[in-house]
Amino acid sequence: MKLDARTIAALAEHLEGCELGARDTPKITDEHPQMDWDDAYAIQDAIRARKQVRGLRIVGLKAGLTSHAKMKQMGVASPVFGFLAEPHALPEGAECKVSELIHPKVEPEIAFVTRRPLKGPGCHIGAVLAATDFVLPGIEVIDSRYRDFKFDLKSVVADNTSAARFVVGGQARAASEVDLRTTGIVLEKNGVPVAFGAGAAVLGHPAAAIAMLANHLGARGEEIPAGTLILSGGITEAVAVEAGDAVTLRVQGMGSVGLRFV
Ligand code: 0L1
Ligand code: MG
């Protein structure tokens, strides 16, 4: 690690303050160019701990930047991992308040819920499917705290991978009942289809993103607990939204889920 404990705590306070106050900031590596991956995840962990100390539950995990479309959109080359906290979760069809966000975008995702723990190293798609209770449609609302979405990967990791809000819903299916590679999705904004894709856009199979998360956590001596909700990453590019927009994600064989932005 290149940053001391005080700097990590100060950066966590700064980034969480930006999240809670809907304020943007230059990317933190501008002032801390020496920051390494361990520092980045330590800052994310400190943000997580700040929320837990306030009594907020961690309600899930997420993989991000798992599709080539997203990687190309953001000019990066590898996935990142973050957490979902209680205030991030919205009910199906809920209103999402844009005034609480900086510059929200939505991503169509497949959510997994585990029934058994998953631990790396060596976790693979087969292990993920065997440990999955069910899969269901999910929309992630991302909201990078970095000005104009200008960042590098380490800054994104520290910022909890832009996690802001999410909704899951539609029809949950057993992972064994669906071929997630060929499962088609349509994302509609105000009734107009704006993005299309299939599960294979996420690392060839969305379960591969969950395996990568298990291996990432395994390298840190952690695991994905049983009963964890995990967003596997945007299947298409993220789509910008503003107040007045209604977004619906339709997933083949799994119904639909939506949000309204007010
Ligand atoms: O969920 C994600 O794909 C994370 C994206 C992080 C970068 C961004 O804000 O687009
Ligand atoms: Mg996402």
Could you tell me the domains of the chain? 58-261 (3.90.850.10)
Please, is 58 exposed, middle or buried when counting C-beta atoms within 10 Å of its C-beta (0-12, 13-18, 19+)? middle
Angle at alpha carbon of residue 104, lines to 99 and 107, rounded to 5°: 145
Q: What is the mean pLDDT of residues 41-63?
A: 98
Atom of ligand 1 minimally distant from the CA of 149: 9
Instruction: State residue 64's pLDDT score.
Output: 96
Q: What is the pLDDT of residues 155-165, one digit of tens each?
A: 999 999 999 99
Instruction: State residue 131's pLDDT score.
Output: 98
Q: Whose C-alpha lies nearest to ligand 1, atom 3?
A: 64
**Contacting residues for 152 by C-beta, under 8 A, at least 6 apart:** 27, 29, 76
Candidate from 80, 109, 145, 155 with most ligand 1 atoms within 8 A of CB, to mutate: 80
- Cα(65) to centroid(ligand 1), Å: 6
Cβ–ligand 1 contact at 152 (below 6 Å): no
Residue 72 has pLDDT above 90, yes or no: no
Instruction: State residue 122's pLDDT score.
Output: 98
Instruction: State residue 77's pLDDT score.
Output: 76
Q: What is the mean pLDDT of residues 13-38?
A: 98
- Cα(160) to centroid(ligand 1), Å: 9
For a pLDDT cut of 90, what percent of the chain falls above it?
94
Q: Which two tokens stand for residue 46?
A: 């400190």
Cβ–ligand 1 contact at 233 (below 6 Å): yes
Residue 66 has pLDDT above 80, yes or no: yes
Q: What is the pLDDT of residues 116-153, one digit of tens each?
A: 999 999 999 999 999 999 999 999 999 999 999 899 99
Instruction: State residue 71's pLDDT score.
Output: 80
Q: What is the pLDDT of residues 191-230, one digit of tens each?
A: 999 999 999 999 999 999 999 999 999 999 999 999 999 9
Cβ–ligand 1 contact at 140 (below 6 Å): yes
Instruction: State residue 42's pLDDT score.
Output: 98
Q: How far is C-alpha 1 from the chain's CA centre?
A: 25
Candidate from 148, 161, 165 with most ligand 1 atoms within 8 A of CB, to mutate: 161
Please name the helix (run of DSSP H) or strand (run of DSSP E) that holds residue 229, with its range, or none: strand 229-231
Residue 41 has pLDDT above 80, yes or no: yes
Q: What is the mean pLDDT of residues 98-107?
A: 98
Instruction: State residue 73's pLDDT score.
Output: 79
CA distance 12 to 8: 6
CA distance 68 to 138: 19
Instruction: State residue 201's pLDDT score.
Output: 96
Residue 69 has pLDDT above 90, yes or no: no
**Mean pLDDT rounded to a whole number for the chain:** 96
Atom of ligand 1 minimally distant from the CA of 80: 4
Residue 74 has pLDDT above 80, yes or no: no
Q: What is the mean pLDDT of residues 65-75?
A: 83
Q: What is the pLDDT of residues 164-190, one digit of tens each?
A: 999 999 999 999 999 999 999 999 999
